[in-house]
Structure 1
Amino acid sequence: MDRLANTVRPYAWGSTTAIPELLGTTPTGEPQAELWMGAHPGAPSRVDRGDGPRPLGDTIADAPEAELGPETVRRFGPRLPFLLKLLAAASPLSLQVHPDLDRARAGFADEEARGIPVDAPHRTYRDANHKPELLCALTPFEGLCGFRDPAGTAELLAALDVDSLKPYVDLLHAQPEADALREVLTAVLVADHTAIAETVHAASAAAERLAAEDGPHRDAYAAYASIARHYPGDPGVIAAMLLNHVRLNPGEALYLGAGVPHAYLDGLGVEVMANSDNVLRCGLTPKHIDVPELLRVVRFESTEPAVLRPEADAGGEEVYATPVDEFRLSRYVFAPSSETPATLPPGAPQILLCTSGTAVVRAADGTELRLRGGESAFVRADERAELTGDDATVFRATVAV
């Protein structure tokens, strides 16, 4: 059982205040976008078992079956298969999609065979793994998730009354769903830069106007206008208009599977994902966009965003159900002065993250760790532990095996 020392990633889209407020630290004035908890080599958590701080991945490598459990090692190898994060967005992240496992393996092998360095800016696949993810809101949270049905998008675009958008409206009306979505997204991504920038400016101005009026897409127009202010002239603004606009209340979550285009726009949340860096971008970024590969990966089908709410079991654990094995996210909500402990099942690795109040993790030998907002702990698979809290919320990330 170890307290984790974690690294903040200062991406430009990050909030300057959300993570410091949770941690109870003084803001630096710089963006603090993500706090990583896990063994990802990009920013591994560190643990100290008496011989100084070490990356969690190195500690796991010393005794993988004790740290992860035999079943986790059998399924995923001698590495922690998930990454837990605090994500604090103050401006939109890139519009993106993640590959499934087969496509990730094939794409990684192809780029390896072609000798493209893993850290090259034009590299698409950083590893051979898929990257399903789950985002649970800690504050009101805003995002885009999945394609809206073509008829609804045609209505939204037509109301902007921009001449250069009318061919897209016609395609959305005339073609079968998958063909319509593919043709419109492709047209946006390969359009002449000057021409599409003019379209974006006109569409953005219209979205600003419609966001101030009552109408069925008012919130979506406001979101697209905000995106355009952050990314003026970016083709991704039009691509974003193809997607559902979503608002989450605290405690609600979104699951993002392979091929589903999405973007986080604003808010603080807990995010858990398979341990992968594979991201294919569709826009809202200065980074490389691999259009042919993107079109292979995107699922061209409309979806209604499935907002997840946790389901509580008899022991008080509230679970966010997802269809993947690499991670399982749940939470415990303790009343003020609660003395009833929650038993944490052994046999798999666990990361505990306190997001409010004060929690105590107690091992079988009586050892205790006290966690406050933003603090986290790693519980190895062969450790038996209990969790208590005082007006506290604690998220538990583990594997679903």
Structure 2
Amino acid sequence: MPPYALLDNPVRRYAWGSPTAIPALTGTAPDGTPQAELWMGAHPSAPSRVGGRPLDELIAADPDGLLGPDTVRRFGPALPFLFKVLAADRALSLQVHPSRAQAEAGYADEEARGIPRDSPRRVYQDRSHKPELLCALGEFEALCGFRPAAGTARLLDALGVLAPWAALLRDRPAAEALPVLLRRALACGPAELATVTEAVTRAAASGGPYAEACAAYARVAGQYPGDAGLAAALLLNHVRLTAGQALYLDSGVPHAYLRGTGVELMANSDNVLRCGLTAKHVDIDGLTAVTSFRTGPPRILTPEPGTLEFPSPAAEFRLSLVRPGDHPVRVERPAPQILLCVAGRALLRAPGHPDLALPPGASAYLRPGAGPVELTGPGAELFRATTGR
């Protein structure tokens, strides 16, 4: 493979996806169906293609050449990250990802019990953890992490619902109260959920201090009527991002993306434990075992000056912005990387190789190599995904 190659990326068509956002980015015509995620990488369930061949097969045939010996030494002969464009018109399921140790134990347990990989009750698809980072491309809403206990108690008081929950949050440490309340939330019956739905709908229209968060909860209730995930959502921080702001989600952090378009970078794993807003299997015992019950406001990230890199502790990935401006940018290639153009038109150039143009929505795979690649494109903006330091 030359130093860079254009990627042909699959689109995942989940029901919550936007029918227009990904086509608008890629310059293609909408076909009326939801286009939820554009996958860039070598995940075996939906790999990108290079010259008609799946990227995972190309890597398997030449891991040192396409990943570099250092990446193979650190992560094995597979691309350690998965890069996506995510476009949500409605809420994704409330979910938590396991730590590496939890994933290894869970995978071994399900294998030993003979649970088929395609079973709806299967949780662990691999042995990996799944930290992830999402950067908004525009207005983006999410739920992320447990709100401080006192704040949730005040919210419930203002709504006039679930008074025993508020009392528990005041009387016991959050680390003791929240596991109890998460279980209660997922066991809520129709009558209690109807009361909560009515309360958040009223609060959303009130213009009061909780109106914005309650508008999100009410919207979720309308999208998933009777789903106990609504009660669980009340325990979480409501977050609004603007373009260029990001969230890092470590193992154990409950979260749900509600609406908007963003780029998402994660470890190359598909391990998800769901806690509501879904018709899929919810394993309450397994969920509470991997959930982190730490509380606090979410940390909203912006790219660090100079590097334009989003801070992240993940070993598997690193996300940064590249803006060529009026002068070419040298893209060093110590590790495999994917460049995604989101604005303008970028041009990749290396001596002895044809130039590669990247219009908005196009992406390229850059294999490790000794020499740099030159990137030009006044007005262009690209996201760069590569391995962590």
TM-score by length of 2: 0.97
1:365 Cα shift?
2.3
User: SS of 1:31's equivalent?
Assistant: coil
> Which 5+ residue runs of structure 1 have no aligned equivalent?
none
Aligned to 2:311: 321
Alpha-carbon separation, structure 1, partners of 2:278 and 2:242: 27
What per-residue deviation string (whole Å, max 9, x for no partner) do you get for residues 281-312 of structure 1?
00000000011110110011102110000013
The letter of the residue matching 1:24 is: G
Q: CA RMSD in A?
A: 1.1
- CA distance in structure 2 between the partners assigned to 1:137 and 1:210 by the alignment: 27
Counterpart-to-counterpart distance in 1, 2:367 and 2:338 = 9
**3-state DSSP class of the match of 1:312?**
coil
Corresponding residue for residue 383 of structure 2: 395
TM-superposed deviation, 1:279: 0.3
Residue 366 of structure 1 deviates from its aligned partner by 4.1
Once the two structures are superposed, residues 201-248 of structure 1 have per-residue CA deviations (whole angstroms, 9 ceiling, x without a partner) of: 221111111112232222111110010000111110010010000000
Q: Which whole-Å CA distance do the structure 2 matches of 1:364 and 1:305 have between them?
A: 45
CA distance in 2, matches of 1:179, 1:343: 52
Question: Which residue of structure 2 aligns with residue 185 of structure 1?
Answer: 182
Deviation at 1:384, TM superposition (A): 3.1
Distance in 2 (CA, whole Å) between partners of 1:395 and 1:24 is: 18
**Which position in structure 2 is the counterpart of 1:25?**
28
Quote the Cα distance in structure 2 between the aligned partners of 1:389 and 1:202. Answer: 55
CA deviation after TM superposition for structure 1 residue 363, in Å? 2.0
Matched, 1:330 2:320: yes
Q: Partner of 1:234: helix, strand, or coil? A: coil
CA offsets 1:318-340 (integer angstroms, 9 cap, x no match) = 100100110000011244xx2x1
Asked whether 1:275 is paired with 2:268, we answer: yes
Show the counterpart of 1:259: 252
What's 1:376 paired with? 363
Range moving further from structure 2, 133-142 or 110-119: 110-119
Superposition pairs of residues 150-229 of structure 1, within 5 angstroms:
150-162=149-161, 165-191=162-188, 196-229=189-222
| Of 292, 298, 301, the match for 1:305 | 298
Conserved? CA contact 1:68–1:347, under 8 Å: no
- Cα separation, 2, equivalents of 1:270 and 1:364: 31
The answer to whether the Cα contact below 8 Å between 1:198 and 1:233 also exists between their aligned partners in 2 is no
Which runs of no fewer than 5 residues in structure 2 stay unpaired? Answer: none
Q: Where in structure 2 are the equivalents of 1:346-361 lying within 5 Å? A: 346-361=333-348
Q: Deviations over 1:175-213 (max 9, x none)?
A: 11111111110112234xxxx222222211111111122
TM-score w.r.t. length of structure 1: 0.94
- Contact 1:282–1:294 at 8 Å: present in 2 too? yes
Cα distance in 2 for residues equivalent to 1:151 and 1:23: 45
Identical columns (%): 56
Aligned length, in residue pairs = 385
1:285 counterpart = 2:278: yes
Match of 2:140 in 1: 141
Contact 2:228 2:277 in 1 (8 A): yes
Structure 1 residue matching 2:215: 3-state secondary structure: helix
Residue 315 of structure 2 aligns to a residue whose secondary structure is coil
